[in-house]
Chains A and B, each alone.
Chain A
């Protein structure tokens, strides 16, 4: 078994979503050392928070956790979670990367993941893993199947009562833990930095940031996940089991007014998938998808779309002009049907999901002058023949960092970037 020697690695992968995990595995399997830097406390990225995936309806967690575990146990892969990249410098034979490991305020080697600290903590906070729908404690393990299973103390919300430390059977709470900085030398870097969804308030007309029962697609992923915050699909305003649910497609994509003119590629399919899951969870519910074009272009996707129509999910070609709500917090959609030329009309639903588009996570790459395209995604230097190449020699890109795409397309890019990185290193040896 090869252990990575001090802070030197062949390839450094930034991000441990499915793109980063896959490229790290491919490189590791090819016999090279990899270090993954992940800013969150767990690996898994966005994918681990999804309910099920289209069109196979595999539970996302079940197919992601094995990859997370494989990375964790891979003799060639070292993962640093809760660690941020601070600066990257290009040097003659690769890169120098300054990273900072953030304090969990827990002695990681000692922790047995028993959750006693979390149980003891009296401070309840919004849970970012549940995209605000769920609740966590000021000290908590990020989520059920997080890897590693280590709690994190949100120091800024700690009331310093000491309850966690008293409850810990292994005395491993350390309130005075400090960030740890280090510099890693890597021969090549793969940026697998993924995406954010467009913030909910971005399209003013939809008031997505203020209306209680207008939620984002990632929030509804959590509603549908088996370990979701409520344990059942409920709407956030009052816990009602919704029986009239609507999806607004292109809620923040293909829209110049909010500077997201491109198609986010995944929203049609995730909305169809969610609608099918909702139909399964709430057999009596009416589910409507307001859309412009259904872009079911991947393998098996059109058939999936046909299946959804056959299940009775209602697809309405309409633009949604505006969203408001009534006194019961029922969202009201002003819709402009594209099918029969009728006048705009108001439709009231119990719960509305905005199919939010995809934004790049980063505009800067830690001091490295990485070329971005006009939308802020990393630009390929050789888009046709070697899409993983960037303008910087030895710095590769894969997945959504290069532009919106679904999971299979991301996996393809991850393998491709791994191949380029391996051959790049080989060429230098």
Chain B
């Protein structure tokens, strides 16, 4: 269905006055009605309404319309709506062009009605020219492997494995350490449920062991990841010398986080054994004797907690990290975790004095606020420092510490405290997974954690389709949040693999083989491994080298298009011939 027998219908939407108050919609539709190849030119109050859509469908069915142009709001809002209408009318949904005359015309040219109308006419003509050169396009269907590969066997990975397997998918769980459970294995009680971490991990392990659909590989090191949504291949070594190749339709990254490790001298860290991080202190508390807190051979009577170590850092005040940047983000869980721990500490050792230096207390969870309140009741001395001030901690010759800090509640006075143990409330940092991210072509956010495709509405989806992220690989989260995130990641996996084929948009590079001269310029422009290569092909009985596209890997950027001397390669739906014609129509007006 090339240019012969074109029957294009053009509709101009009033958008209930949003457009028609500025643009003379009648004039636009009338002018277009007589334009070459256009057989219908109409305007209507709301094209997106079911009546509007029905009108389009009726015209297609009754008048044999085979291309549709609608000028209305942004395509972001209704392009899919009208494609759906074409589909329902029984014609190819891509024989449709959406012209934006609201956000990009009527709303911005309110005071220039004539200009806006002329602009609308030119834009709609351009769209008609585009449609005159539009072929049917078809959704690309990629068969899928009904298996999920999960990288990381901490609680996030384990939870995702259990959910995905329950939904009927095969699961391969790949863990670099010798055991599952990740960081949680080591810590003791967890908030808010007060369960032991070990019990949570054991429960998950039990469920995994019982499930024949889940295969676990420990001591694994991934050496390569290739493929695309529906068909990934992961190669890894495990148990020393064994190698394994796994095919999976979806990858879930559950690589977790690392604890921030203070540098030597940061709040006296490394200068004394009795300056410890919160995770270490939680371990100490888990095994310490009753009645008296003895650590490093000394009875501990006064402890100072310092919040935001390695978090909420400020350029120019704090030292940059290895990546050259400060950790300017909040680690989310540390305030609540510190308060939870302080309460435990006071319950176990009521006589230990606790001082807590913070800037904002971020005990945001419903139950977490009670930790704060309970701690306050237990005579914890909370000292609030201004955001930019840092406490100074100096080890004293007698083994105690001098802690100097500014307290906003007392006229910003500098106070000196003496303590015999310091707990640095350290935050979370991203795990070192640079290789993995490179294999998968996934970017990091400015905080170094994995970047989601949209932080608001698509928080577990990566930029690479078919790869989802569970838990703290995304950023700091507590245990419940981690498990919710991993459940959501598996929900995406189940949705993607719910059909034996994945359906993808057809806007990828297409080669007209008879036009291809085999010059080989285009693959050099392509940044996507495997997406475009030269291949010996039989073209109309003539075997020659032509460009060949792997549609599942092509992202449709068009880098190849610009260098083709014969215009043999184009992005489907966005061809150069179409753009030339559109520019021509615009220039003519």
Q: Which residues of A contact B (CB under 8 A)?
A: 18, 22, 26, 29-31, 53, 55-56, 58, 62-63, 65-67, 69-70, 73, 112-115, 149, 254, 261-263, 265, 293-303, 306, 317, 338-341, 373, 375, 377, 383-388, 403-404, 407-409, 411-416, 418-420, 422-423, 426-427
In the complex, what residues of B have CB within 8 A of residue A420's CB?
163, 487
Q: A26-B492, A293-B360, A302-B329 are in contact. Are A416 and B167 (CB under 8 A)?
A: no
Q: Give the 7 A-B residue pairs with the shortest CB-CB distance, closest first.
A: A415-B488, A29-B495, A416-B487, A419-B491, A293-B360, A302-B330, A423-B166
Judge whether A58 and B330 touch: CB under 8 Å.
no
Chain B residues 466 to 508 lying within 8 A of chain A, measured CB to CB, are 474-475, 479-481, 483-485, 487-492, 494-495, 498-499
A423 contact from B163, B363, B445, B488, Cβ within 8 A: B163
| Closest B residue, CB atoms, query A1 | B88
Judge whether B45 and A114 touch: CB under 8 Å.
yes
Judge whether B491 and A26 touch: CB under 8 Å.
yes
In the complex, what residues of B have CB within 8 A of residue A26's CB?
488, 491-492, 495
A294 contact from B16, B360, B455, Cβ within 8 A: B360
Most B-side CB within 10 Å, residue of A18, A302, A414 = A302
Most B-side CB within 10 Å, residue of A261, A294, A298, A384 = A384
The reply to whether the CB of B287 lies closer than 8 angstroms to some CB of chain A is no
Binds A, one of B75-83, B222-230, B260-268, B566-574: B75-83
Binds A, one of B188-196, B397-405, B510-518: B188-196
- Please name 17 pairs of A and B residues whose Cβ atoms are closer than 8 Å in the assembled complex, sorted by A: A29-B495, A62-B76, A73-B81, A113-B16, A262-B366, A262-B369, A293-B360, A296-B362, A373-B366, A384-B190, A385-B204, A411-B458, A411-B488, A412-B459, A419-B487, A419-B494, A426-B166
Tell me the bound Cα distance from A422 to B471 in angstroms.
21
Q: A297-B364, A299-B445 are in contact. Are A412 and B481 (CB under 8 A)?
A: yes
For B, the interface residue count at a CB cutoff of 8 angstroms equals: 77
- Min CB distance A336 to B, Å, is 12
Tell me the bound Cα distance from A340 to B411 in angstroms.
4
Q: Which residues of B contact A (CB under 8 A)?
A: 16, 45-46, 49, 51, 76-78, 80-81, 84, 159, 163, 166-168, 190, 192-193, 195, 200, 203-204, 311-312, 314, 328-330, 332, 360-366, 368-370, 373, 384, 386, 408-412, 445-447, 449, 454-460, 474-475, 479-481, 483-485, 487-492, 494-495, 498-499
In the complex, what residues of B have CB within 8 A of residue A31's CB?
498-499
| Closest B residue, CB atoms, query A112 | B51
In the complex, what residues of B have CB within 8 A of residue A65's CB?
77
Q: A149-B49, A407-B457, A411-B459 are in contact. Are A416 and B193 (CB under 8 A)?
A: no
- Additional 16 contacts, C-beta under 8 A, given A301-B330, A416-B488: A26-B488, A53-B456, A58-B456, A113-B16, A296-B360, A299-B449, A300-B447, A339-B408, A340-B412, A377-B366, A384-B480, A385-B159, A387-B480, A404-B366, A415-B492, A419-B490
A30 contact from B76, B311, B491, Cβ within 8 A: B491
Tell me the bound Cα distance from A338 to B383 in angstroms.
12
Judge whether B166 and A302 touch: CB under 8 Å.
no
In the complex, what residues of A have CB within 8 A of residue B80's CB?
69-70, 73
Tell me the bound Cα distance from A30 to B49 in angstroms.
28
In the complex, what residues of A have CB within 8 A of residue B312's CB?
302
Judge whether A409 and B481 touch: CB under 8 Å.
yes
- Min CB distance A405 to B, Å, is 9
Judge whether B484 and A30 touch: CB under 8 Å.
no
In the complex, what residues of B have CB within 8 A of residue A422's CB?
167, 491, 494
In the complex, what residues of A have CB within 8 A of residue B361's CB?
293
In the complex, what residues of B have CB within 8 A of residue A426's CB?
166-168
| Closest A residue, CB atoms, query B458 | A411
Judge whether A66 and B487 touch: CB under 8 Å.
no
In the complex, what residues of A have CB within 8 A of residue B412's CB?
339-340
Tell me the bound Cα distance from A52 to B16 in angstroms.
24
Judge whether B368 and A263 touch: CB under 8 Å.
yes
Judge whether B200 and A30 touch: CB under 8 Å.
no
Judge whether A416 and B46 touch: CB under 8 Å.
no
- Min CB distance A158 to B, Å, is 23
Tell me the bound Cα distance from A187 to B166 in angstroms.
17
In the complex, what residues of A have CB within 8 A of residue B445's CB?
299-300
Tell me the bound Cα distance from A363 to B328 in angstroms.
40
In the complex, what residues of B have CB within 8 A of residue A70's CB?
80
Tell me the bound Cα distance from A416 to B492 in angstroms.
10
Judge whether A114 and B46 touch: CB under 8 Å.
yes
Judge whether B81 and A297 touch: CB under 8 Å.
no
In the complex, what residues of B have CB within 8 A of residue A29's CB?
495, 498
Most B-side CB within 10 Å, residue of A262, A375, A414, A420 = A262
| Closest A residue, CB atoms, query B449 | A299
Tell me the bound Cα distance from A418 to B409 in angstroms.
47
Judge whether B483 and A385 touch: CB under 8 Å.
yes
Q: A383-B193, A384-B193 are in contact. Are A112 and B49 (CB under 8 A)?
A: yes
Tell me the bound Cα distance from A369 to B238 in angstroms.
50
- Min CB distance B14 to A, Å, is 9
A384 contact from B16, B457, B479, B499, Cβ within 8 A: B479
Judge whether A384 and B200 touch: CB under 8 Å.
yes
Judge whether A415 and B460 touch: CB under 8 Å.
yes
Judge whether B46 and A113 touch: CB under 8 Å.
yes
Tell me the bound Cα distance from A317 to B192 in angstroms.
29
Q: A338-B408, A412-B484 are in contact. Are A295 and B362 (CB under 8 A)?
A: yes
In the complex, what residues of B have CB within 8 A of residue A412's CB?
459-460, 481, 484-485, 488
Q: A113-B46, A383-B192, A408-B459 are in contact. Are A299 and B475 (CB under 8 A)?
A: yes
In the complex, what residues of A have CB within 8 A of residue B411's CB?
340-341
- Min CB distance B51 to A, Å, is 4
Judge whether A299 and B474 touch: CB under 8 Å.
yes
Q: A339-B412, A384-B200, A419-B490 are in contact. Are A408 and B456 (CB under 8 A)?
A: yes
Most B-side CB within 10 Å, residue of A58, A385, A413, A414 = A385
Judge whether A263 and B369 touch: CB under 8 Å.
yes
Judge whether B455 and A261 touch: CB under 8 Å.
no
Tell me the bound Cα distance from A404 to B390 in angstroms.
32
In the complex, what residues of A have CB within 8 A of residue B363's CB?
263
In the complex, what residues of B have CB within 8 A of residue A306's CB?
314, 328
- Min CB distance A111 to B, Å, is 8
Tell me the bound Cα distance from A387 to B365 in angstroms.
14
- Min CB distance B250 to A, Å, is 13
In the complex, what residues of A have CB within 8 A of residue B480's CB?
383-384, 387
Q: A295-B360, A295-B362, A426-B167 are in contact. Are A67 and B192 (CB under 8 A)?
A: no
In the complex, what residues of B have CB within 8 A of residue A66's CB?
76-77
Judge whether A419 and B459 touch: CB under 8 Å.
no
Most B-side CB within 10 Å, residue of A112, A340, A403 = A112
